[in-house]
Structure 1
Amino acid sequence: MQLKRVQLQNSLNTRTTERDQLKTRLRFYEKPCLDGWWKFGTSCYFVSSTMDTGGGGQKACRAMGADDVIINSREEQIFIHGFKKNVWIGTYKKDGIWEWIGITLFKPTYWMEGEPNNMHDECVEISQTASDPLKSWKFAPCAIPKYWVCEKPFTP
C-alpha cells in the first residue's frame, strides 16, 4: 500500500510539473512580448518613461537584453515616430562615420529638412517637431537627455 502511495505521489508531482510548464508556455504565446514592451514585425520594443543620454539609454537597453532601436524599414520608422516622444535611435557618428549600433552599414533616409547639418553632434533622435514621420531624424548632442527605445528580436 505504501509503494502504491509513493508511485501515485510521484505521478502527481510529474503531472504538476508538466502542467506548470505548459502554463508558462501558454502565457508566452498569449503575450508575444514582455509587459511594457510592444510587438511590431519581428521585434519587441521598449519605450522609456525616463530620459537619459544617448549612451545611458543604450546601457539600459543592454541591461534588458536588447539594444537601441535600429530602423530597418519605412514601416518601422513610422511605428517608432508614433510613440510621440523625442527618442534616441541606435546610430551614432564615430570618427566622422555614421554607423548603426553593431553594424557598419548605414543608409540614412529619414532626415528632417536641413539635416544632417555640419554640427559636431554625434547622436540622432527621432524628433516630434517634424510633422512627417519620414522626415524626422535630427542631429543632437549625445549628452542631452531624451527618451530611448530598445529593440530585441521576437522569439516565440
Structure 2
Amino acid sequence: MKLRVTYRLNAHLGGGTQECWIYSLSPEVSDCSGRMGVITPGENGMSGPGLLHPKKTEGATERDWWFTQYRQLSHYLALLCFLLTMATLLQTFYLVQITLVFQSQSTLQEVRLKDLTQKLNTLNHSYLLLFHKYPALNQYCPVTNSNTNERVCMPCPEGWESFGERCYLYTYDRRDWISSQYHCLSVGGNLAMVKSEEEQIFLWKRAKELSQGDSYWIGLRNGNPGGAWHWVDDSPVEKGFWDIFWDHEPEKGDTRELCARLSPGDSHRAGWYATMCKNSLKSICERTQGTLQ
C-alpha cells in the first residue's frame, strides 16, 4: 500500500528540499522519479526528517561506482602532489640558504687569506732587510736550505761550540800568541779565559778530542817580563788556579815574555804550561753568546 504525501526532507546532495515523495510501509522510499533509497533517522537518533542515502540498485551502472572511486583517488593524488610541491619548495629554500652561507664564508676566507698573504710578504721583506742591514747576523743564522733560504739561528756562530754563556772556536792555523789574539779579535772574540774549573774541564776535553798531541794558546800571559800574570781583559788569575791548573808554577823573576798554553794530558788539572810567546801554536778563541735584546 502506498500513500502520496508531501514531506520536507534534506537531500543527501545539495541540501535542498524535495516534495512528492512516495512512502510505503517498508523502510524504502522512492521519489517522484522512481529512484529508490533508504531513509534513516534524524540526528542523534531522534525522530524527524532523516537523510536519504542512495542505495545501489541493480539498475545502477558500474561506471558510476568506478567514477566515485576515481574521484577519491584524484583527491588523494592532488593532496600528494601538493605535499611534494611543498617539500620541493622547502628543499630549494634550504639549498639557497646553504649556498648563500657558503658563499659568504668563502668570501670571508678569501679576505683573510689575502690579508695573511700581505702580512707574510711584509714580514719576509723586513726579514731580508734585517740581514742586509746587520751582516753579522749571518754568523748566527746561516742559510741551511739554499732553495728556500731557510735559516737556523743558534746562540753561537757557525763553527763555534757553546758552553755556558760563551762560544769557543778551536783554530787549526799555527800562530804566535799575539797573532792568535789578533785573529780572535777579528772574529769577534779573544783568546779563551778560564774563569772556572767547569770551563777548564770543557776546554780540556774538547782539546783532547781535536789536538792529537797539539797544544793551544789561551788568553793568559805575564804583563811584563818578570811581571804578574793576567788575562787578556787585564783581570788577574783566580786564586787557587796556580796550584790546580799549572803543570808547574812559572818562576818569578823570569825575564822572558811568557804566555800560557793548554796541553791536554790525562787530567784536566796540571794542563797549563808557560811557553815563549813567539812560538807558533793553535789557539782557542772565545766570545759571548748572541742574544736577542
For this structure pair, what is the TM-score category when the shorter chain's length is used for normalisation?
0.7 to 0.9
C-alpha distance after superposition, 1:2-49 (max 9, x if no partner)? xxxxxx99766414325656xx69722xx2211110000100001001
Structure ID, larger Rg:
2
Distance apart, 1:72 and its partner CA: 0.8
1:152 aligns with 2:277: no
1:103 matched residue in structure 2: 234
One-letter amino acid matched to 2:231: W
Residue matched to 1:88: 217
Please give the secondary structure, in 1, of the residue aligned with 2:152: helix
Measured after TM superposition, the shift of residue 134 of structure 1 is: 1.6
1:123 aligns with one of 254, 259, 266: 259
1:78 matched to 2:198: no
Cα separation, partners in 2 of 1:68 and 1:19, compared to 1, 3 Å: closer
2:178 to 28, 32, 55: 55
Q: Would you say the 8 A contact 1:121–1:139 is kept in 2?
A: no
Structure 1 residues 58-103: Cα deviation after superposition (integer angstroms, max 9, x where no partner): 0000000101100011011011112223111101101211111122
Amino acid across the alignment from 1:115: E
CA deviation profile, 1:100-153 (whole Å, cap 9, x unmatched): 1122322233101x332455351000113x322121100000111111011111
1:58 aligned counterpart, secondary structure: helix
In structure 2, C-alpha distance between the alignment counterparts of 1:103 and 1:116, rounded to whole Å: 18
**Matches of 1:106 and 1:93 in 2, distance apart?**
11
Partners of 1:51 and 1:44 in 2: how far apart? 20
TM-score (norm 1): 0.80
Q: Which has the higher helix share?
A: 2
- 1:65 aligned partner: 188
Matches within 5 A, 1:2-81: 13-18=121-126, 27-28=152-153, 31-81=154-204
Within the alignment, does 1:133 sit opposite 2:268 as a pair? yes
Distance 1:80 1:52 in 2: 19
Residue 273 of structure 2 aligns to which amino acid in structure 1?
Answer: K
SS in 2 for 1:135: coil
Distance 1:10 1:152, change over 3 A: same
CA RMSD in angstroms comes to 2.6
Q: Bigger relative contact order, structure 1 or 2, given CA contacts below 8 A and separation 6+?
A: 1
Query: How many residues of Structure 1 are paired with residues of Structure 2 in the alignment?
Result: 144
Residue aligning to 1:3 = none
Q: Where does the alignment leave 5 or more consecutive residues of structure 1 unmatched?
A: 1-7
The percent of aligned pairs where both chains have the same amino acid is 25
Are residues 12 and 93 of structure 1, via their aligned partners in 2, closer, same or farther at CA, if it must alter by over 3 Å? closer
Contact kept? 1:117, 1:139, Cα under 8 Å? no
Structure 2: gaps (5+ residues) = 1-114, 131-140, 143-150
Q: Give me the whole-angstrom Cα distance separating, in 1, the residues matched to 2:246 and 2:262.
A: 9
- Residues of 2 paired with 1:117 and 1:127: CA distance? 19
Residue 134 of structure 1 aligns to a residue whose secondary structure is: coil
